[in-house]
Structure 1
Amino acid sequence: MSVQEKGEQFSSKWGVILASLGMAIGAGNLWRFPRLAGQYGGTFIILWFLFLFIWSIPILLSEFSIGKKFKHGVISSFAQAAGKKYTWMGFFITLCTLGITFYYSVVTAWGLRYVGLSTSLLTDKKALEGLNQDFLEVYWQSISTGSYLTVGIHIGVVIFAVFMLYKGIQQGLEKVNKILIPSLLFLMLLVAAVALSTENGPKGLEYMFHIDTALFFNSKVWIEAVTQSAWSTGAGWGLMLTIASYSRDKEDVTFNILVSGIGNNLASLIAGIAILPSVFAIASSDAQAISYLQSGNTALTFTIIPLLFAKIPYGEVLGVVFFVAFTMAAFSSLISMVELCIRTFTDLKFNRTKASIITGGLCIVFGLPSAMSLNFFSNQDWVWGLGLLISGLFINFAVQKNGVGKFKEEYIDKDSSIIIPAIFYKIAMYLNIGIGVFLIWWWMSQGYSENPWFKDGVWNFFDVYSNATIVTQWVAVILIGILLNKWLYKKFVK
């Protein structure tokens, strides 16, 4: 089905903007951002906003304009933008994002499990009173590893996502986001308002925006800021390119990207305003609250949030609202990822129904290991989450191939109501090459595995967090892409 058909375009610019916000606002906004804001406060927030404009927005502008110009999915559009010899790079971007898609339905399933837990606490006062961290940690382990109920929900989530999308863009993706995004923002604002109304809640807000100038000299804060921006906004995922392939011919590139990028950051701030005051509300002292936040507890969402809300007035209701919002955020990102896969198959001349069925089958089958094993989930999140930095560098490469100034003038500025300075875009794109390479090196040099490359003389591929597992999976996809480069170009472009 041609994307030029009326049914395969968004009906208005707000349809595109809502889809872009749905893609960007995900579980990371409610999961990772509050933890980082809790660790580093206003210093992190300033740097995080800085990298929104240095890394994320320039790459998103590039992605969107490529999709708008060529009106196809990632592989086809990228090949036309970068050149036939580099079709394999578009293949890598697609496979990297699909690697995330296959486990993201599991995140949505976890959200639904916690909606169920929170709902049960509404009616079981005894269980609510006896709620403690040990119980929550056991519950988390029980749903994240070896749970057939989680597997069943994962399958149901995929089927529902595909059903929402097979009808097309206007009747599928656009209609879903018109409901999801306003509802999600309303729920997050509700949680934030209640959290701030607690006795010590405002102290959490003061702490969140407190600026510690000494942290500007801490390299880790800078690295956390750029990686959070890159992953949260969806820069380099190919999702913005996919959304833009359904845009109207005169779509305003710069306006759409600025609204979606800034809107994503505001959603993260709202999530932080909901979580940090809650920590102060239940802590026995300010010192205890600060100590907990600065510990950087990665289990904040699943093993702490239910406990936080259980200790404040109407918290059990707030817990349900929070996890409904979390599930909606995860699902809004998931449907954009699923659409990328559907778009890939429609580029291969499958009709939308067949493309949707194939996509659903792939997501169910390849998502099963992550639904059954938290270690497998963590490995895939580790490998392909970091792989997004390579995808961002590939998008940058396509821009460089065209000439940065020429690309901006011919791809971005056309039909844009806001013209960003050429010098800003050029500096950002050249600077991002160094940023991307440095981040990949830094992340892999941190020693997250005891044996990052070899264990007892054997290539340590099966270690969840080893560099060996990262490199092996990246190289496999790149080699397959290079070997199939001519075939991919023939199938997706010619």
Structure 2
Amino acid sequence: MVTMFFLALSFAALTSMISTVELCVRNFVDHGVERSQAVGFTGGALFLFGIPSAALWILMDESTGVAFPQFLEVQDHIWGYGLMFSGLFIAFSIWKYGWNRYKVWQDENDIEGFDFRDYLDNGVSSFRDDFINTGDNDWWIGKWWDYIMYLGFPIMFTVLMGSYFIDVIFNVDDPWNPGNPKGISIVLLFWGFTAAVFILLNRWLVSRPLYRNVPEGAEVPIDTLPGGEDDMILQVGDIWTGGDLDGDGSGKDRVLVAELA
């Protein structure tokens, strides 16, 4: 029975990692990187970044006499609440999309000035209408979803992050010491480094065309989909004529052949 439990636990860990890796790979594939290459360097990066965890050192807690892996303890401390920022970035993209759609609606209708009611009707609900309630969904998502994204999430984020930092400041000795594995400075340093890496990668990805995931046989014109009128939004087989994709100075056009899910 014990063997079956840990075997099932191993399969659960493996299958969850597949979806985690795919999340990263999918972003590169959507920007024209071959899937095999994206899987290769994503797996390689995970291996390299995982070495410290494999070579971790075990320390003994003098107060309890319990041995614990310090490196994993530190990473859990850093990224436990770092996941909240992942949710914040997703929410921000939804907020920004709604605001941009509202500005487009204003331009199309020659309306000047901000009106809160118009923003609710033509901005806040835009993401839900364009990407969720597309007609293919089994469940129709109502306005309650907008309230959660625009009101509920900011409140929950503020409460959770505020309580976390308040707890660390008042209950941890020397919380601003970067060498303190339970302090705040080490958290901010890791978050800042990761943010800098992502910003640099984003500057590279944002200049590349993006694929629309139109399932084969759907026969949906790409220009009818959200963002389909953008020159940087293409389909597999289209030819990109916007310049150099590889940074080698050749400036050659390329037929986009990335795999769609």
Map of 1:343 onto structure 2: 26
Q: Is 1:399 aligned with 2:116?
A: no
Map of 1:436 onto structure 2: 157
CA 1:392/1:492 → structure 2, altered by over 3 Å: closer, same or farther? farther
Indicate the SS of the match to 2:167. coil
Map of 1:151 onto structure 2: none
CA distance, structure 2, for counterparts of residue 338 and residue 356 of structure 1: 8
Map of 2:35 onto structure 1: 352
Unaligned runs of 5+ in 2: 57-68, 99-122, 211-231, 233-261
Map of 2:12 onto structure 1: 329
Contact 2:78 2:186 in 1 (8 A): yes
Contact 1:453 1:467 in 2 (8 A): yes
Cα deviation code 1:444-493 (max 9, x no counterpart):
22236422213xxxxx2x33222111111112233444466543311364
Percent identical pairs in the alignment equals 33
Whichever structure has more strand as a proportion of its residues is 2
Matches within 5 A, 1:86-485: 318-373=1-56, 374-401=69-96, 402=98, 403-414=123-134, 415-422=136-143, 424-429=144-149, 430-447=151-168, 449-454=172-177, 460=178, 462-482=179-199, 485=202
Q: Which residue identity lines up with residue 391 of structure 1 in the other structure?
A: S
Q: Which residue identity lines up with residue 93 of structure 2 in the other structure?
A: A
Map of 2:244 onto structure 1: none
RMSD in angstroms over aligned alpha carbons?
2.3
Deviation at 1:406, TM superposition (A): 1.9
Map of 2:119 onto structure 1: none
Map of 1:152 onto structure 2: none
Q: Which residue identity lines up with residue 417 of structure 1 in the other structure?
A: D
Contact 1:371 1:377 in 2 (8 A): no
Map of 2:208 onto structure 1: 491
Indicate the SS of the match to 1:446. helix
Q: Which residue identity lines up with residue 465 of structure 1 in the other structure?
A: K
Indicate the SS of the match to 2:208. helix
CA distance, structure 1, for counterparts of residue 137 and residue 51 of structure 2: 43
Cα deviation code 1:32-83 (max 9, x no counterpart):
xxxxxxxxxxxxxxxxxxxxxxxxxxxxxxxxxxxxxxxxxxxxxxxxxxxx
Deviation at 1:376, TM superposition (A): 1.8
CA distance, structure 2, for counterparts of residue 347 and residue 383 of structure 1: 30
Contact 2:32 2:209 in 1 (8 A): no
Cα deviation code 1:274-324 (max 9, x no counterpart):
xxxxxxxxxxxxxxxxxxxxxxxxxxxxxxxxxxxxxxxxxxxx2222212
Contact 2:32 2:208 in 1 (8 A): no
Q: Which residue identity lines up with residue 421 of structure 1 in the other structure?
A: G
Q: Which residue identity lines up with residue 173 of structure 2 in the other structure?
A: E
Aligned residues: 170
CA 1:336/1:449 → structure 2, altered by over 3 Å: closer, same or farther? farther
Contact 2:77 2:182 in 1 (8 A): yes
CA 1:490/1:389 → structure 2, altered by over 3 Å: closer, same or farther? same
CA distance, structure 2, for counterparts of residue 356 and residue 319 of structure 1: 34
CA 1:492/1:388 → structure 2, altered by over 3 Å: closer, same or farther? farther
Whichever structure has more helix as a proportion of its residues is 1
CA distance, structure 1, for counterparts of residue 15 and residue 52 of structure 2: 22
CA distance, structure 2, for counterparts of residue 357 and residue 420 of structure 1: 38
Greater than 6 Å deviation, 4+ residue runs: none
Matches within 5 A, 1:23-34: none
CA distance, structure 2, for counterparts of residue 337 and residue 483 of structure 1: 21
CA distance, structure 2, for counterparts of residue 381 and residue 327 of structure 1: 20
Cα deviation code 1:198-254 (max 9, x no counterpart):
xxxxxxxxxxxxxxxxxxxxxxxxxxxxxxxxxxxxxxxxxxxxxxxxxxxxxxxxx
Contact 2:78 2:190 in 1 (8 A): yes
CA 1:485/1:467 → structure 2, altered by over 3 Å: closer, same or farther? same
Which TM-score applies when normalising by structure 2? 0.58
CA distance, structure 2, for counterparts of residue 406 and residue 348 of structure 1: 24
Contact 2:124 2:146 in 1 (8 A): yes
Q: Which residue identity lines up with residue 452 of structure 1 in the other structure?
A: P
CA distance, structure 2, for counterparts of residue 484 and residue 463 of structure 1: 30
Indicate the SS of the match to 1:322. helix
Unaligned runs of 5+ in 1: 1-317, 455-459
Contact 1:449 1:463 in 2 (8 A): no
CA distance, structure 2, for counterparts of residue 483 and residue 357 of structure 1: 20
Contact 1:341 1:359 in 2 (8 A): yes
CA distance, structure 2, for counterparts of residue 356 and residue 406 of structure 1: 33
CA distance, structure 2, for counterparts of residue 407 and residue 342 of structure 1: 24
